[in-house]
Amino acid sequence: MGKRSDFERKERDLYQTPYAAVVPLLPHLPEIARFDEPCVGDGDLVKHLEYNGHKCFAIGDISSGQDALDIIGTPADMFITNPPWDRKILHRLILHLCAIKPTFLLFDADWMHTKQAAPYLEFCRKIVSVGRVKWIPDSSHTGKDNCAWYLFTEERTAHTEFYGRIA
């Protein structure tokens, strides 16, 4: 799934979100997060968050004809998703979703150090380090890219809070 491997990527970047990738996010959520999951895939992220007492209001996925870029509003307090990492899609999702509600996205940590990230970092409030994720459950190895949760909001900021790994 990363840039340093020769494995063929799964269609639509459909990688299940393992529980270990969700744990670092939990302290950064309200006691009961009311969220939408617009890139739900197999639904693992929703299961992990609901297991921890959070409430999913709506799910969607391009595979079921629900394009996250078509969302115009939500009664939820935020979006939380593990989106496709394809930059053409990811960058559009950042701007679109955070203009509606605060948005936590899980993707590669290296992104924040690239020139392409500059226009989007002004909307980034928080970065929560996850480290390497074991995307393939039966594999004995983790992915080769470190990951992070990014919180984007519509308000621009000159300051982003960074939280290193907790374990």
Kindly report, residue by residue over 66-92, the tens digit of the pLDDT: 999 999 999 999 999 999 999 999 999
- pLDDT band of 135, cuts 50, 70, 90: low
Q: Is the pLDDT of residue 7 over 60?
A: no
What is the average pLDDT score of the chain? 89
Q: Kindly list the distances between the CA atom of residue 118 and the CA atoms of 27, 34, 91, 121, 140, in Å, as whole numbers in the listed order.
A: 27, 29, 11, 5, 35
Between 166 and 80, name the one with better pLDDT.
80
**Distance between CA atoms of residues 77 and 135, nearest Å:** 28
CATH code of 14-163, in short, is 3.40.50.150
> Are the CB atoms for 54 and 33 separated by under 8 Å?
yes
**Strand 78-81 and strand 103-108: pairing?**
parallel
The one-letter amino acid code at 31 reads E
- pLDDT band of 143, cuts 50, 70, 90: low
Query: Where is average pLDDT lowest: 33-37, 115-119, 135-139?
Result: 135-139
Q: Is the pLDDT of residue 144 over 70?
A: no
Q: Is the pLDDT of residue 95 over 50?
A: yes
**Distance between CA atoms of residues 91 and 87, nearest Å:** 6
**Distance between CA atoms of residues 35 and 137, nearest Å:** 26
28's tokens: 């950064």
pTM: 0.88
> Are the CB atoms for 106 and 82 separated by under 8 Å?
yes
Query: Where is average pLDDT lowest: 13-27, 31-45, 57-71?
Result: 13-27
Over residues 109-129, the mean pLDDT reads: 96
Over residues 101-123, the mean pLDDT reads: 96
Task: Report pLDDT for 157.
Answer: 85
Over residues 124-148, the mean pLDDT reads: 77
- pLDDT band of 133, cuts 50, 70, 90: confident
Task: Report pLDDT for 10.
Answer: 46
